[in-house]
Structure 1
Amino acid sequence: MWSPDEIASLCYNHFNKLPKRGKPEAGREWTLLAAVVLLTDSSDQKTVQKQVVSLGTGTKCIGQSAMSMKGDILNDSHAEVIARRGGVRYLTEQLHRAVTGQSSDVFCPGAGKGKWTVKPGVSFLFFTSQTPCGDASIFPTTGSQAQPCEPVKAAQNGESERRGLKRHAESELEETRQGPGMKTSDNHSSCRKSGDADEREVITGNKEHNQLNEVSYYQPDVKKVYPPDLHRTGAKCVPDGPTDPLKPGLLYHSVGVLRVKPGRGERTLSLSCSDKLTRWAVLGFQGALLSHYLQGPIYFSAVVVGKGPYNHQAMQRAMRTRCSHVRGLPSGFSIQAPELLQASLEFTHNHTHTESKHTHTQGRISPCGAAISWCAVSQHPLDVTANGYKQGVTKKALGTLQARSLISKVELFHSFLKLRAATEDAQLPETLRGNELRTYWDYKQAAGVYQQAWTQLRLQAFPLWLRGPRELLRFH
């Protein structure tokens, strides 16, 4: 019905048609791309219509001290997160069309009062131009594979050498920062591990776990022996949990653990994209607010990754194995297993391609400071941000309405409130009938079934999941 290359080509072509604003400078800047694609079966179910309904680019996050109590700044501007938030914006407009009696491409009436469900033959898939940062990006290199980071040599002495190895592996990832509090992702050197590892397993030299430690990789053309090594992720283990051994080669990382996105100086509170994709695979990508209106969560039927370092077993471990044991989810929720596929087409603005086009007169290669959000909505589909605010705003305008991204928490919340206001009283979902609902936090917590599912997922699989201060969610 469709192929990974068709999906990759669709997303890349859509990006190419967007205006130049926010795009990386050729040969000097790189970025990552992600998208939500709507699939609609034809009436005879022999063909599938494919439409990009949300697209995002970006590589950065903000530190905790830069987070806003107004909900008006993007904390996480990685492409995958931007694309998902644009997807929520698209779903909100589609629900608005449905509740006001207009034609919706996605929704039809559900079984419960005020509830809606996805139309038969309609589904969504997720595309990302590179393996998500975090756990999915930890797997062994192969001798013939271009290595984003050099193999780590054997440690010579103790803890000081371990710190040196860590700096060597992460220096390229963290040395570029544009704007106050911004953090650069690890995606261009996302380095990973394969195998059906236990959630807390450390990659070891034990034959039972990994026979790669028994051999060295050999490249006939180069006639050079490479010791076994891992692709690495710059995402760091969450506090109070298992840590990375930081030892040479296959012993560098722990696998199956939650990670926060990297940065210089202040730690971020943003979980890795591997972790967030796993959460969406259990709770759906629609979020808590839209759950008020939906008969059940909306899952991605597939996740397609563009050309680059990739390992199917590592993706399975990150997105399936880590939460496969979770039980007791409320009705409608389940442990979804999206189909995991890789395309053979490369994003021409990724780090590897940018490096190949780079000339010494362009200065150093750096991640693009802007994040692009585009979604298939009727008003203002394009939104370009930098440092969490709209690109180009002056310091004087920071914190004002004009500086807000259209996919910031507060803007998505206001779109939801417009949806609620447009809903006839007789069709208002029961969970929205309380007069005490006022803040963003109130409305999220009132989505009781969604919150039950999230509680079970945290308790059984992700007890160390970082949660920001509640005060940051009290805006209205």
Structure 2
Amino acid sequence: MWSPDEIASLCYNHFNKLPKRGKPESGREWTLLAAVIQITDCPEQKTVQKQVVSLGTGTKCIGRSAMSMKGDVLNDSHAEVIARRGSVRYLTEQLLKAVRGQSSDVFCAGSEKGKWRLKAGVSFLFFTSQTPCGDASIFPMSGSEAQPCEPVKETTQNEESEPRGLKRPADQETRQKTKHPKINTSDKQPSCRSSGDTEDKAEAENKSCSERSEAEPLDLHRTGAKSVPDGPKDLLQPGLLYHHTGLLRVKPGRGEPTLSLSCSDKLARWCILGFQGALLMHYLQEALYFSAVLVGKSPYSHPALRRALHTRCSHVKDLPSGFSFHDPELLQSSLEFPHNHTHTKSKHTHSQGRISPCGAAISWCAVSQQPLDVTANGYKQGVTKKALGTPQARSLICKVELFHSFLKVVAATEDSELPETLRGKDWKTYWDYKQAAGSYQLAWTQLRLQAFPQWPRGPRQLLLFQ
């Protein structure tokens, strides 16, 4: 049907065909890539169509003070988040086609009035070129491995340097001096599992890693994402005692805290709530889930990814109709993204200055108009200061733009065909429409209560735009 290398190659080739704008400078800048792939199984033709419907690159987040009450700024521009938001844009256009009676590649009428569901044979995969930041990134290194990102100096008296995190650089916190019991790492040993490996083989590899660790001191791959303010904290001790596992984490900003949860946390949330978001659930009979999560060649641990996406929330129950815990297949490709940190470092020359993450984020999705969107610092790349706050400065996947696209679906729906949650209502704000998606909000409440009670709540005033 498809292989991880086939999906990775599909995504990398799609990226190569995009215009140069927003791409990293060879040998000096690096970035990460993520994509949503639509799989359409056509048994009558005995074919399987594989299509990239959304692709994103990026490594940045904005701080709390830069967030906008107009919903016109991208708070989180990590590749995984960009790709997911682009997929929502694609799904919204496909839903608009269905509502208008046009042919949709995704949706067909559901059994409930005003509701839609996926067409038979349609499913979605999620690809990311590197292990998601946060909990999935925390696992022991092999003895010969080096931290994949450059070290960053700590502000300590001894001027000691500490390796940066696995995925995105962040200032390291000063180590605590107190001793703590050794953390049990049996569920997060590194695995070189290929796409065809069985769980038994993965367990055998983990056992081998565990036996090796008794002879060699191990260090952890680290993440720049910090534990949430009200949650347990990392130990910050040497080696395996640096991180706690299973924690909710927020991404680092540029010198300022952010409100953006790690990509590991967001992927876990999508395993319960679906990746379509609250607004589209007004029209959908069932949430949309990824059938597989694939990671490109990079430092990777199957047990750590499973812990992050499965173990932390698979026990959640009492979910409303249309929602359930979805356990995606977890696979790794042997193909490496040519614009990641490792490749960039290999091509780097001294005359180019220091290696840095690319400041731009690219969003491409399979929509009929303006499929490409390039941003920097949460706004369209190249926008002038004078234009900030105007519609011309907005990313096409920011909250307010996606909201307006959803309102077009509502306006195109005949009154008699409106979903019950929208019938006879006079909602005004983005917050109103999100809260009115009752089944989604109930599922979110159950997820918070049972798995993520410390998930931070963003300020409501940031969601009151129209």
TM value normalised by structure 2: 0.89
Amino acid corresponding to residue 278 of structure 1 in structure 2: A
| 1:166–1:254 Cα change, 3 Å | farther
2:373 to 383, 402, 409: 383
Aligned 8 A contact 2:147 2:163 in 1: no
What is the aligned partner in structure 1 of residue 8 from structure 2?
8
Identical columns (%): 76
Cα distance in 2, alignment partners of residues 355 and 167 from structure 1: 19
Aligned 8 A contact 1:194 1:314 in 2: no
What is the aligned partner in structure 2 of residue 436 from structure 1?
426
Does 2:192 match 1:196? no
Cα distance in 1, alignment partners of residues 60 and 418 from structure 2: 38
Superimposed CA distance per residue, residues 234-291 of structure 1 (whole angstroms, 9 cap, x where no aligned partner): 1000012110000010000000010000134211000000000000111000000000
Aligned 8 A contact 2:151 2:161 in 1: no
Cα distance in 2, alignment partners of residues 48 and 435 from structure 1: 42
SS at structure 2 position matched to 1:373: strand
1:325 to 315, 330, 337: 315
C-alpha displacement of 1:194: 6.0
Aligned 8 A contact 1:141 1:230 in 2: yes
What is the aligned partner in structure 1 of residue 215 from structure 2?
216
1:454 to 428, 438, 444: 444
Aligned 8 A contact 2:164 2:170 in 1: no
SS at structure 2 position matched to 1:432: coil
Does 2:348 match 1:352? no
Aligned 8 A contact 1:281 1:335 in 2: yes
> How many residues get paired?
432
What is the aligned partner in structure 1 of residue 256 from structure 2?
266
**What does 1:40-79 correspond to in 2, within 5 Å?**
40-44=40-44, 46-79=46-79
1:367 to 353, 357, 360: 357
| 1:170–1:196 Cα change, 3 Å | closer
Aligned 8 A contact 1:71 1:475 in 2: yes
Aligned 8 A contact 1:355 1:365 in 2: yes
Superimposed CA distance per residue, residues 355-376 of structure 1 (whole angstroms, 9 cap, x where no aligned partner): 0000001110000000000000
SS at structure 2 position matched to 1:35: strand
SS at structure 1 position matched to 2:92: helix
SS at structure 1 position matched to 2:51: strand
Cα distance in 2, alignment partners of residues 319 and 273 from structure 1: 10
What is the aligned partner in structure 2 of residue 402 from structure 1?
392
**What does 1:68-107 correspond to in 2, within 5 Å?**
68-107=68-107
Cα distance in 2, alignment partners of residues 35 and 309 from structure 1: 19
Cα distance in 1, alignment partners of residues 415 and 37 from structure 2: 33
| 1:433–1:165 Cα change, 3 Å | farther
Does 2:418 match 1:414? no
SS at structure 1 position matched to 2:124: strand
What is the aligned partner in structure 2 of residue 142 from structure 1?
142
Cα distance in 2, alignment partners of residues 165 and 34 from structure 1: 34
| 1:101–1:59 Cα change, 3 Å | same
Cα distance in 2, alignment partners of residues 160 and 399 from structure 1: 40
Does 2:165 match 1:174? no
SS at structure 2 position matched to 1:323: coil
Aligned 8 A contact 1:138 1:194 in 2: no
SS at structure 2 position matched to 1:13: helix
What is the aligned partner in structure 2 of residue 118 from structure 1?
118
C-alpha displacement of 1:392: 0.4
Amino acid corresponding to residue 347 of structure 2 in structure 1: K
**What does 1:210-289 correspond to in 2, within 5 Å?**
211=210, 215-217=214-216, 227-289=217-279
Amino acid corresponding to residue 124 of structure 2 in structure 1: F
Cα distance in 1, alignment partners of residues 160 and 268 from structure 2: 29
Aligned 8 A contact 2:117 2:286 in 1: yes
What is the aligned partner in structure 1 of residue 20 from structure 2?
20
SS at structure 1 position matched to 2:53: strand
Cα distance in 1, alignment partners of residues 330 and 134 from structure 2: 16
Amino acid corresponding to residue 91 of structure 1 in structure 2: L
Aligned 8 A contact 1:141 1:228 in 2: yes
Superimposed CA distance per residue, residues 274-310 of structure 1 (whole angstroms, 9 cap, x where no aligned partner): 0000001110000000000000100000000000100
C-alpha displacement of 1:170: 5.9
| 1:150–1:415 Cα change, 3 Å | closer
Cα distance in 2, alignment partners of residues 376 and 50 from structure 1: 13
Cα distance in 2, alignment partners of residues 338 and 438 from structure 1: 36
Aligned 8 A contact 1:100 1:423 in 2: yes
C-alpha displacement of 1:167: 5.4
SS at structure 2 position matched to 1:431: coil
| 1:341–1:304 Cα change, 3 Å | same
Cα distance in 2, alignment partners of residues 51 and 416 from structure 1: 23
Cα distance in 2, alignment partners of residues 467 and 302 from structure 1: 28
Amino acid corresponding to residue 26 of structure 1 in structure 2: S
SS at structure 2 position matched to 1:215: helix
SS at structure 1 position matched to 2:375: strand
Aligned 8 A contact 2:62 2:254 in 1: no
| 1:7–1:211 Cα change, 3 Å | closer
Aligned 8 A contact 1:149 1:231 in 2: no
SS at structure 2 position matched to 1:174: coil
Amino acid corresponding to residue 86 of structure 2 in structure 1: G
C-alpha displacement of 1:332: 1.8
C-alpha displacement of 1:212: 6.0
What is the aligned partner in structure 2 of residue 306 from structure 1?
296
Moved more, 425-434 or 5-14: 425-434
Cα distance in 2, alignment partners of residues 117 and 276 from structure 1: 23
C-alpha displacement of 1:412: 0.1
Amino acid corresponding to residue 296 of structure 1 in structure 2: E
